[in-house]
Structure 1
Amino acid sequence: MKKNLFNAVIFLSLLTFILSGCFYYVQQPLDIDFSKTELGTKQGKASAYVILWFFAFGNAGSKAAADNGGLKIIRHADYKDLVFLSGLFAIRTTIVYGD
């Protein structure tokens, strides 16, 4: 009986550890001054990807995002992270606003 209880506790602990990082999504500003934020008329996005914690590709830089949106002046920037299975697959997107 004690062995079954011990195995159940170990199994539930591992399951909790594994499932706690199944999905993560956050979008945050890359600015600390929120009092006078002007977004502008255009928006550009650029993304970088990670697969199997090892393979990374893409360019999530602000210049790449500005080029994708046709921006010449960046007024504000955000970033967005989307992570599955504790980083097995992840996307980081930079979003820039401006003119």
Structure 2
Amino acid sequence: MKINGRWHCPDGKYTALSADAVAALVLDWIGGKVPPDQRPEGLDKPTRVFAHWDDDGDGSGCGTVWTKTPPHLGADGRWWIWVDGPRLVRCDDVRKLTRQEARK
């Protein structure tokens, strides 16, 4: 997919997108969201974060968890990360804890 005449590759490599993923990107842009262009910083090492998630069986939830993988760009054009659980959550739904918060 080309955006503004350039191939969409925010992770430094081409990203294959399904028709559903393209539709999701377009809906996000119409809603005022900017396409992701930079990888989230500070989440590469195991990091203590507060995350929100949606589980298929358990419903949605939130809590303090550790990141398990570096962020990766999904086919939907959003940044995702694996956390304790194991749960796959959007990086938009993750907040890195301060030192004081992580000690609790």
TM-score for the superposition, normalised by structure 2:
0.25
**Structure with the larger strand share:** 1
**Structure with the larger helix share:** 1
TM-score for the superposition, normalised by structure 1:
0.25
Radius of gyration: which is bigger? 1
